[in-house]
Structure formats: structure tokens, C-alpha cells
Chain A
Amino acid sequence: MRIGEIVETGSAGFVAESFELNRPPELGSLVKVETEEGSCVYGVVSYGTTTGLDPGRRAVRRSSEGVYDAAIYREHPQLEQVLRTEFSVVLVGWAADGSIRQHLPPQPPPLHYSVHTCTPLEVRAFSERLLYLRLLLAVSGQLPPEQLLAAHLRQLYQARGRDRAWLERAAREVAGLLKQDVERLLVVLQGIDPGQGT
């Protein structure tokens, strides 16, 4: 399903404008961009935001006694046109000729191309190997990388139908990657603990 269009692109990731206002794809979810026949790049949603279309225009308070939340958009119909929701995506792999690679693709995805959600089958296929998790930990974006990693693992756990065995495998992989930094490791482990309502 098409959920957005790329408005900024680069070798490590891209920014897309969401088709639905105030609903970027879920943090940590796996998305893809179909670049040409049979090829695509994969990425993880690393940030979402909603701001004025024009960088010079900041949002102002619009609620009143009887009008707040969803009603604000009904009472100010121009908002749908002067606001936009954007999301950032970190590239974690690509696929061509039927094989999936988990390193940065040779080309950034083209500007204005569509961003798609991944089907459960695609999620399963991509996350069989976990080499790409180190790419997420190396991200320097708007969130601490361990928070992003935890969000991503939660997303995949659900998308894989609460695959407990996979989650444990992922936890062991993360422990290996963060063995020198117990604090950060704990952030991830606590964030993906199914007992915490993951």
C-alpha cells in the first residue's frame, strides 16, 4: 500500500511526505520503495512529524471551549492544505534479482517515488537475517538509536505474528552488538520485553 512520496533523498535514508495528515507510518516499521522492475530498497521508519507546509508558518493554538482535537480540523478546513506530515526512513537493505542484501543500497531511492508498507511475507523474508540491526544502531538521527532499534523490534515481533523464537534470537543479536554498553542494551531489552505489553 502506498503511504507516502519521497521529498528528500540520500544514500543513508530519505524523507517522505505522508498521504495522510497526522498519520505517518508507525515508528520502527519496515517500508520499501520500488525502484525499478523487480528491485526495491528497504528502510525503517525512524521519525515522524507534522508541521506547516511553508517553513515560515508555525502552528498556533486553535482550540476553544467547544472545539478541540478532531473538531479543529472540521472548523478550520484550510489546515488539511497548509499542514504536512513527514517521516524519515533509514535505509537497511535492498533487493534485486530475487536476493535480499542487508547493507546500504548502491543508489539512493529516486525523488518523488512512492513509499510502500511491507506485507507480512516481505517482513518475514527480510528479517530472517539480522545483520542490518547494526545499521540501525549506527544511525544519528532525531532519536537515540537504541530507542529506534527497540521500536523496530517491537514492530517486527507483531508483524511476524508474535514470533517469540525470533524475538529471542534478535535479543541475543543485540546483546552481542551492545556488550560494551550495558545501559543502552538494557534500554533495548526493556523496550522489547513482551511482559511489558510489547
Chain B
Amino acid sequence: MPLQLEVLSRGVERLAAQASDGAGQQLLEEAQRRLRRVDVEALCTRLRIRDPRFPWLTAVPTDDTMGAAYSVPLPSPPFSVVATDGSNIPPDRHNPVRFYVLNVGRATLTYGSRPDARLKATTHLACEEEELYLNPGREHIPVDGERLGIKMAVAELEALFEAAQEAQPPVLALLDGSLILWGLQSEERSVQAAFLQEYLSALGRFREVDIPLASYISYPGGQDVANSLRVSLCQGHSAQCESCTLPPSEQELCKFLGTVRDREIFSGLLEAGQRSDIFESTSAILDRYGEHRIQFFYLNNGDEILRLEAPQWVMRDGGKRDMVHGLVLDQCKRSGGYPAYPPVLQEAHEQAVISSAERRLVEEMVAQALAARGIVYIHSAKESSKRRRGV
């Protein structure tokens, strides 16, 4: 409760001063010029050997250029877009029984002479051992936190496939967020294997029936392309930046590239409606993705630069890639607000959301069911103190 507002107010002033620093704009323009002139072949060679000097996440170009911009004609109906989103009630350690709830929302929108919309949510309460723990009986790893997030990602993908199959073709399947399971990187091999098997199998189903899928990342925080540009600048043979032999202006640019986001670089390069070249992420977990290795491009939808990811079998196929580009732009055009956001993603999210009233309702339902069987629901002392807040 007693937040020191006068201290905060001084900090906020410093923050604003830093953000409006003018020198950054010139460096940004220099970075954009460099991106257009990069020797892509040489850069790719350096990136692919994964030099340990560069511990940054980089983006490997898949085209001959890195700073080009591409337009696409807007698609004509009929076509459908489908999306899913998930929400969960995580396991609560203050509860005498362990369970979690997954709610997957889905939206199917069909445009053309016979427009249609199908919105629904599918709820699941997990209380069996096999759902609550990985390798139950052996390592007994609880499904919560990041692992629950990945379980939800798998459920979203499976529901997305169902919805895509039922939709009137041609269909684009869309998700919000990344297709790269970052959360798995810190897990042990057995956990990675278990989740990846389900996730990649779900991706495989889309490939089998030839339905493109992509994921939409608004206000992306990625720096992969900026990092690749840094690699192209670096001339050093040693691992130390302190003994850098580059002239000061180059060093300044290198340092700048360490702080700038890709979306800032591309906002000067892409006109509204244009996409960037296609890049491949070098995230370690992607080595296990096989044929579904994730590639991405940046897109200017008129309001912001967003990042679209898709398996390489979508991005390498001109028709599918253009469908992703064109239909995402079409969705953004139909958005009802600023900045533009695809209605299909918004409706899937609305179906998925679990309100705080609904969370309390689930808790009460469980408490009542337990009470009917003689089990009294006792909160932990800390939890009770938080609720009571007595003086």
C-alpha cells in the first residue's frame, strides 16, 4: 500500500528522458541502410556455424536479401479463417485436491456470398494422475507453470486442427503468440520429448491435409534480425568486445543493435501492407522440430509491425505464404479498433477467457462436491490471512 509516489515520479521523468533520446534515430536509419546492403551469403555462413562468439539469438536469412519489402494482392472471398486460444485455472497448492482447468476457445469465420461464424469454447477439468503429472509413478513431474502452458498450447493446436477441417476451404489457421516452444528449453530431455511428440504430431496433421497455419505476434519484442546484423558487423577474431578493432562509429552501431528491437528496424523499411524477407529462428529447441522448423517474417499492417511465424513448409510454398500474408492483412482490415487486430483471434480469445467470477465459481463447485463427501476445504494459513486481512 505505501508506494513512494515522489520517488516514482522522479524515476518516471528519467525514463521519459531516456526514451526520447534523439541520437537513436540516426543509428536506426544507419541500421536500416546496412540491412539493405548486407552480404547475405557471407552472413549465412557465419550464422550456420553457430560461432560461440555470438551467444545471441539470431535470424538466418532464407532469401538473398534481408531488407527487401514485398506486397501481395488482397485475397477475394470466399475463404475462411480459424483461430483458437486457451485459458486455464492452474493447480492451486492451497487446495486439498489437485486439478487444473483448460478452456479452449475457437472461432471460425467464413467470408464470401455465404458468410458464417462459429464461436465456441471447450472446457476440460484435469484430475487424473496422467494429466496432472508427467511420468507418474517414476519422476512424477507436476504439470504446472510453463509445462501447463505447453499442455495448453498442444490443446489449442489440436482444437485448431478440428476447426480447420470443418471450415469451408480455402482455410487459414491462426494462433496468437509464438509457435516456438521456448518454455521447453529449460526442461529435461524426457519432458521435452513428451511434449514435442504431441505438438509436432499436431503440426503434422496440418501438413497432411495441406492447411496453412501461422502465428501472429503483436508488438514483437524479438531482436533476432538486429543480432544477425551485429554478427555481420563484427570483424573480431577474439571473443572479447573490449579489444574490438572496429572504428568508434561502428562500435556505437554495434552497441545500438544490441538494444534495438526488430520491429523498430522494419518500421522504416516496410510500407503498410508489406512484409519482410523470410528468416529462420536459431532457437535451440527448433533443432528438434524437424520438417516443422519455424520461420518468420515481419509485416506492416498499417498500425504496427507484427511478426508472423509458420513452419517452413508453409513459408517455402509461395501460395501458402501469400495466403498467410494476404489473409492476415484482410483480417486486420476488418478489425474494429486501433491498433488493428484480427477479429478471428479476438473472438477466439473472448471464448477462452475465464473471468474471476467463473474462477470463484469453480472453486465453490469443488468445495461443495468435497463437502458432500465429508472433506472440508481448509486453506493454508497464508491464504486465509490474505483473504481475511485482519488488523
Task: Tell me the A residues contacting B by CB distance below 8 Å.
Answer: 54, 57, 59-62, 64, 73-82
Rounded to whole angstroms, the CA-CA distance of A81 and B109 in the bound complex is 11
Do B119 and A76 touch (CB < 8 A)? no
Complex formed: what's the CA distance from A54 to B334 in Å?
A: 20
B343 and A78 form a contact (CB under 8 A): yes
* B29 on interface, CB distance cutoff 8 Å: no
Cβ-defined partner of B334 (8 Å) among A59, A61, A73, A76: A76
- Provide the B16-39 mask, 1 if CB < 8 A to any CB of A, else 0: 000000000000000000000000
Secondary structure call for the B interface: mixed
- State A60–B115 Cα separation when bound (angstroms): 20
Q: How far apart are the CA atoms of A178 and B114 in the complex, in Å?
A: 53
Q: Which of B327-367 contact A (CB under 8 A)?
A: 333-334, 336-337, 343-344, 347, 350
Which residues on the A side are within 8 Å of B350 (C-beta)? 54, 57, 82
18 A-B pairs with CB atoms under 8 Å apart are A54-B350, A60-B337, A61-B336, A62-B334, A62-B336, A76-B343, A77-B109, A77-B110, A77-B117, A78-B107, A78-B109, A78-B343, A78-B347, A79-B117, A80-B117, A81-B117, A82-B119, A82-B347
Interface string of B105-131 (1 = CB under 8 A from A): 001011100011101000000000000
State the total of A-B contacts with C-beta under 8 angstroms.
37
CA distance A75 to B116 in the complex (A): 10
B residues contacting the other copy or chain, number (CB 8 A): 16
1/0 per residue, CB under 8 A from A, across B228-258: the answer is: 0000000000000000000000000000000
Q: State whether A78 touches B111 (Cβ < 8 A).
A: no
Q: Closest approach, in angstroms, between the C-beta of A70 and any C-beta of chain B?
A: 12
Query: Contacts of A80 on B, CB cut-off 8 Å?
Result: 117
- Give per-residue flags for B183-206: 1 if the beta carbon is below 8 A from chain A beta carbons, else 0: 000000000000000000000000
CA–CA, A116 to B363, complex, Å?
40
Question: In the complex, how many angstroms separate the beta carbon of B362 from the nearest chain A beta carbon?
Answer: 19
| CA distance in complex: A74, B337 (Å) | 18
Q: CA of A11 to CA of B342 in the docked complex: distance in angstroms?
A: 44
CB neighbours (8 Å) of A73 from chain B are 115
| CB-nearest residue of chain B to A78 | B117
Give the most central of A57, A64, A75: most B CB within 10 Å. Answer: A75
**Seed contacts A74-B115, A77-B110, A80-B117; 19 additional CB < 8 Å A-B pairs:** A54-B350, A57-B350, A60-B336, A60-B337, A61-B336, A62-B334, A62-B336, A75-B111, A75-B115, A76-B334, A76-B336, A78-B107, A78-B119, A78-B344, A79-B117, A81-B117, A81-B119, A82-B119, A82-B350
Chain B residue with the shortest CB-CB distance to A52: B350
Set of chain B residues within 8 Å of A77, measured between Cβ atoms: 109-111, 115-117
CB pair A75 B117 closer than 8 Å: no
Instruction: Tell me which residues across on chain A come within 8 A of B344, comparing CB atoms.
Output: 78
